[in-house]
Chain A
């Protein structure tokens, strides 16, 4: 029973794996299995970021030696890091998983959503509509996401099995009580559940597990030389999707990205951390949350995340 899936191999259980990671892993695997056992048409949101790579790994573990029993879906704003797209396609091929791409560009072209204009235009909000359309079109009833409660204060209040009404909306005030490990995924046709298997993981847990398990990540997470410009205290990657505003200048720097999302709202910072071990050291001493440091979309207002989540965002 030692054969692995494709070339998606992992190092054997290391003696270093601490019991808290085992406990978290076990909880997550339980959640994934419950959701799949009680749904008809699940899907896993996969952006190529570290959290979705982790959820994907946990889902693989949950059903091994069977193949992943559901597809993965990328809500693609069209503003991707090349390295992340390359990573996404390679991992999906290795796992023999089905990939669905829900394209924001397509939604714009079809006139279903209207693109923001101006130098600070972002497709962040357009993702919600694209995601909800895809859920509707494919009739998904469980949508796995990689959100964590330590990321953001609205998320800290969200259930592991989070109900969405027929409009895809989240109502934070009428959430279902969630006790023990008894999850209630019951819903009517047209409604769906968002399921967050790594709700109880912290950023540090994620990195420790990635190191422990040797999980591969896109190269933008690690220190590299890149042409960037400074905006709102973050280093934005030079790209065709971002126009410079007066006074902004492109320069070369040694940077890495702490989260990976749409290029127009994901900022990097100067770092020499080039391995997971070095990133863990960096995370251990950092004094800024990952969203505060790298997501322009979360800086808009105190309740920015809650408002977007209510509309159906990830």
Chain B
């Protein structure tokens, strides 16, 4: 059983992120000969005397011309145990929105620091964003250990410093690895230069961190995506509700409540093309049939009668602003998508803007511009069925869309019911 694991990595050109990723891809044989030749060729053309592995992922013309990473790049690699989807995002503050995007689905955040420079403002920013986006595991790679004489003292010092800072964040699983991406120490293979380190290498960590509990297996949440009515003789009376399980273990025979109607019924069957299932867990896409013929449509949600999500038109949320257009302000209206439900929402209250570097809350501000993050209250035209983001990333998240341009302008993480 190979597991699918999503990693978000962030950093700047200087901290050796590309080299580290290059190592992981090289050593797991995910870089192909023709890709390597193309990168070598491109590196020569631009006059660099080393093979610039960033060119592997910087796929757009503008990125290569400017020598910067603009957008999230997705890379794929595998070991016999796991398949990895790696979202590689640029580290500069102006790309906060890319970091937020890359982290939104990640199980593991991989953050690099330069052992010489220590914990920088951007390290704190990246860690905060990983925490805000609810990434369950964070691996801090202390890189360039070769340039600090493989010093255990320096490593311990940085670990202490980072732990103190991380206490202010919500990171439940924090790991540290001393590495030299350039020399390959502790990336895939154990370091001979740091006999004092007895922990796993980066790849070993990525392979072993337990991600099975990252999803909420307690609260049954099934947002209805699509109603399936076959109109075929052999399935004349079939009425199934298609969706992807957003939380909890769903079993045949379970009593469920339909929101917003509040009707209760039982699960008659859990259907898939490959045959019926006795039970199903996140993130499975299934079709559920119910014992009673009740009105259920897209945007509704199934839950257990004694474990319901919040149902409210008012919600408090942290919002990351992703648009270089008009800023978010009190009174502004947007289209909002939460699970499979669209509505309209108005910004009712602006609580504070958060400085992503210092975590300082600026309560005197009243707007969010591109790459800014703040806490707001929204009121929507239709009730939403949600959980706190920290409890469930699927039912705790939403996006805001500008109704005139149809562009996604904000990403929200619900902190609770507004009151």
Contact = CB atoms under 8 A, between A and B. Distances in A.
Contacts of B276: 1
B408 A20 contact: no
Given A20-B4, A65-B232, A154-B60, A13 B275 contact: yes
B226 A186 contact: no
Contacts, number: 189
B274 interface: yes
Given A19-B3, A175-B71, A180-B104, A306 B59 contact: yes
Interface stretch (B158-166, B348-356, B378-386, B392-400): B392-400
A27 B393 contact: no
Given A19-B2, A153-B56, A181-B244, A26 B101 contact: no
Contacts of B50: none
Contacts of B340: 34, 37
Contact of A181 (B71, B78, B85, B394): B394
A26 B83 contact: no
A30 B229 contact: no
Interface string A154-189: 111100000100000000111111111110101110
A60 B70 CA distance: 36
A292 B231 CA distance: 45
A10 B285 contact: no
Given A18-B1, A23-B4, A66 B82 contact: no
Contacts of B260: none
B274 to A, nearest CB: 4
Interface in B310-340: 322, 335, 337-338, 340
Contacts of B34: 288-289, 292-293
Contacts of A66: 228-232, 235
A150 B76 contact: yes
Given A20-B83, A289-B34, A306-B60, A180 B273 contact: no
A251 interface: no
A149 B85 CA distance: 11
B229 A61 contact: no
Interface in B1-31: 1-4
B285 A287 contact: no
Contacts of B228: 63-66
A21 to B, nearest CB: 8
Contacts of A205: 83
A15 B2 CA distance: 13
A289 B39 CA distance: 14
Interface residues of B, number: 75
A2 interface: yes
B213 interface: no
Nearest to A182: B399
B364 interface: no
Contact of B244 (A18, A26, A157): A26
B392 to A, nearest CB: 11
Nearest to A2: B275
Interface string B113-135: 00000000000000000000000
A13 B274 contact: yes
A23 B283 contact: yes
A10 B76 contact: no
Contacts of A157: 59-60, 71-73
Interface string B237-265: 01010111000000000000000000000
B1 A19 contact: yes
Contacts of B308: none
Interface of A: 1-3, 10, 12-13, 18-20, 22-27, 29-30, 33-34, 36-37, 60-67, 149-150, 152-157, 163, 172-182, 184, 186-188, 199-200, 202, 204-205, 286-289, 292-293, 302-303, 306-307
Interface of B: 1-4, 32-35, 38, 42, 56-62, 64, 70-76, 78, 82-83, 85, 97, 100-101, 104-105, 225-226, 228-232, 234-235, 238, 240, 242-244, 269, 271-276, 283-285, 287, 298, 322, 335, 337-338, 340, 393-394, 397-399, 401, 406-408, 411
19 contacts: A10-B273, A25-B285, A26-B244, A29-B285, A33-B285, A36-B226, A60-B273, A67-B232, A154-B60, A177-B322, A177-B399, A177-B411, A179-B105, A181-B105, A186-B401, A287-B33, A288-B34, A289-B34, A306-B61
Query: Considering the complex of A and B, which 4 residue pairs feature the smallest CB-CB distances, nearest first?
Result: A153-B59, A292-B34, A20-B4, A29-B285
Given A1-B271, A179-B101, A187-B406, 18 more contacts: A20-B83, A23-B283, A26-B283, A26-B284, A37-B340, A61-B274, A63-B228, A64-B228, A65-B235, A66-B230, A157-B73, A172-B62, A179-B100, A288-B32, A289-B35, A302-B38, A306-B61, A307-B61
